[in-house]
Structure 1
Amino acid sequence: MDLLSISSNERAEILKHYDISEAQVKEDVELIKSWKQKQPHLPENISDDFIARIFLRNKFRVERTKEKLDNYFTLRGYHDDLVRDLENIVPSKHFITHLPMPKLTPNHERVIIMKLINRDAEVYDMKELIKLDLAVTEVLLQYDDSIGVRYVIDFGGFTLKHLTKWNPVLLLKNVILIEKAYSCRLMGIHCVNLPEFASKILGIFKIVLRSKIYDKVKIDSSLESLYEVMPKECLPSEYGGSCSDIHSLLKKWDEIFQDHRNFFIENYKNVSLEHLRPVDFTKSDSFGPDGTFKQLTID
């Protein structure tokens, strides 16, 4: 896919970074496939490319990749309400963007822009925001060979009324799915145009993000500080970048979603069959927050 393609040089540099060869990748993918064949609860139609991307996202570690493959099919089934009806999403008509940039950073990261399109707090819906996030991440998992993602979250137009719709339980589920099911490596979260109540926003981030990830949250007071991490060619024109404008890129993502409509429909059913799992299985913390988070309040 053109919007997510990487060059042969970038691929070579990524492999060099992890000190692994293409031959070794193929050999290890075969090992993972052999393991998968002994897991009757997992779907049969798992492609080599899909396994290879999970492998990359887990730093080419075989055992971790097995765990994350299992998580992908199991956690999506457990949180099926968040991955239902993804085929009906039209990115350009959503109230917010979750927009991957076509060009990788020099560190081979994929920049994702989150920005309110419709600033009306009445249409702001946390669950729909998460579903857009997961839908885009599904596509990335099919085509993207970056080493991780770096978010730019633009809070322009974000009000206290928007904030009241943030649900820490849903946000935590989203983080769990992104990290543990989709093997997403969060390289950084850059916040721009933060409002006066920024401390409340950061307070919620601190609740739902692991400390290691929270430490990657940065407040960028200017575009110049953004450019230090991501060159202009990795950003849309709205941020002084040389990529297309956000609207034009979103229209291209509309086409991608339309082309993948059947994929979303079929993939919704492509989950673990727990009654076929060959060993005893106890749900861990990966399977969602307990009642503790229901009692949270934000000062």
Structure 2
Amino acid sequence: MTNETSSQLFPYENPPPEVIKKLEEDIGMTEESLKEDIKTLKEWMVKQPHLPNIDDEKVLKRFLYYCKNSLEKTKMKLDNYYSVRGSSPEYFNNRDPLDPELVESINTMFFCGLPKLTPEHDRVCIFKIFDTDVSKYNPTLLFKSGLMALDCHVSEERCRSHILIYDMQGGSIGHVASLTIPIIKKFFSSGLVGMPQRYSGFHIVNAPSIAESLISMAKSFLKDKLSKRTYVHHDMTSLHKFIPKEILPAEYGGTFPMTMNELKENTYAGLVAHREWFKQQENLVTDEKKRLSKFNSLDQIEGSFRKINID
């Protein structure tokens, strides 16, 4: 179970096999249970005519892992994952990393994964503004590229959970004004709820005073447990209490030997390496006309932002 061959296209650190084994044991995942659960998931998906036929065992295993080895939660998360792709085409269609508009967005603001894991084996990712020209800022494309990066990680990522840092340096009233309630609502419902990853904390740095209302509004969409794990840092010393310096680049008082521009290129190269994969995923969405149950997981998503997976 823990010695699978890696086809990892992102140059990120993953936990060593003995740590992965311990993380899996902690949630009751064994060779025997995994084999049986994957078989059960495959049989369940075949009986759900609205779902695409997914038989990639590595993907199913990751869903089980992020859902803490719960079959019922995994079924719900798989349903959510493929449902949001149909309901949010602005995020999940036309995901060509070489598209000029997407490239411009990535060079303006991007979601950068940090290669080194925390001592708790969490992956840290940073949203950062690289170009302050508001005319180039497109929040939909920003969220699209961030979700692309997270999506690629589903079959490769072996971290315990994710920690997100939002660097608002260079943010202006124009940036804040473009993040309307419908856009934020769609991102939370289609992004965080639809993706399988768990989140152990949000950290905001370099926030201008004009962003206070935006931060309060975003926190109101989160479950209480995660809202309490959302921190606004007024200096990097405060951030270092949660994330070790060796994880962070120099821009955040860290010692990791890559700049944010280099980390941006690092993450972007991973997207380009997955270009064909993105094309293959284009039609893997639910067909709601074939759904047997009246219950639609998206109804629950839209009605509440309380289903985000957290530790």
- TM-score normalised by structure 1 residue count: 0.88
Secondary structure, aligned partner of 1:98 = strand
Matched to 1:101, the amino acid is L
Distance of 1:230 and 1:242 partners within structure 2: 12
The structure 2 residue matched to 1:147, chosen from 153, 156, 160, is 160
CA gap of 1:4–1:271, structure 2 versus 1, over 3 A, is: farther
Asked if the contact 1:109/1:149 (under 8 Å) is kept, the reply is yes
Residue in structure 2 matched with residue 201 of structure 1 by the alignment? 214
Asked if the contact 2:28/2:69 (under 8 Å) is kept, the reply is no
Q: Over aligned residue pairs, what C-alpha RMSD do you find? A: 2.2
Residue in structure 1 matched with residue 69 of structure 2 by the alignment? 60
Asked if the contact 1:172/1:209 (under 8 Å) is kept, the reply is no
Matched to 2:192, the amino acid is E
1:253 aligns with 2:257: no
Distance of 1:13 and 1:106 partners within structure 2: 14
Deviation (angstroms), 1:199: 2.3
Cα deviation 1:110-158 (Å, max 9, x = unaligned): 1001110001122121111111121111111121122221111111111
Secondary structure, aligned partner of 1:136 = helix
The structure 1 residue matched to 2:149, chosen from 130, 136, 145, is 136
- Which structure 2 residues correspond to residues 180-191 of structure 1 after superposition, within 5 A? 180-191=193-204
Percent identity, please.
Answer: 26
The structure 2 residue matched to 1:262, chosen from 276, 301, 304, is 276
Distance of 1:195 and 1:253 partners within structure 2: 27
Residue in structure 1 matched with residue 29 of structure 2 by the alignment? 20
Deviation (angstroms), 1:284: 4.7
Deviation (angstroms), 1:202: 2.0
Secondary structure, aligned partner of 2:125 = strand
1:213 aligns with 2:226: yes
The structure 1 residue matched to 2:115, chosen from 94, 102, 109, is 102
- Which structure 2 residues correspond to residues 155-194 of structure 1 after superposition, within 5 A? 155-194=168-207
Deviation (angstroms), 1:289: 6.4
Distance of 2:293 and 2:117 partners within structure 1: 41
Distance of 1:46 and 1:249 partners within structure 2: 33
Asked if the contact 1:54/1:68 (under 8 Å) is kept, the reply is yes
Asked if the contact 1:14/1:108 (under 8 Å) is kept, the reply is no
Distance of 1:110 and 1:148 partners within structure 2: 6
**Which has the larger displacement, 132-141 or 223-232?**
223-232
Distance of 1:184 and 1:197 partners within structure 2: 30
Deviation (angstroms), 1:270: 1.0
1:33 aligns with 2:42: yes
Secondary structure, aligned partner of 2:214 = helix
Deviation (angstroms), 1:68: 0.8
Residue in structure 2 matched with residue 125 of structure 1 by the alignment? 138
Matched to 1:174, the amino acid is F
Give the number of equivalent residue pairs. Answer: 290
Matched to 2:52, the amino acid is P
Deviation (angstroms), 1:287: 5.0
| Runs of 5+ unmatched residues, structure 1 | 291-299
Residue in structure 2 matched with residue 222 of structure 1 by the alignment? 235
- TM-score normalised by structure 2 residue count: 0.85
Residue in structure 1 matched with residue 5 of structure 2 by the alignment? none
Deviation (angstroms), 1:92: 8.7
**Which has the larger displacement, 37-46 or 17-26?**
17-26
Cα deviation 1:174-215 (Å, max 9, x = unaligned): 112233321232211111112123422322213433333222
Distance of 1:54 and 1:276 partners within structure 2: 23
Secondary structure, aligned partner of 1:86 = coil
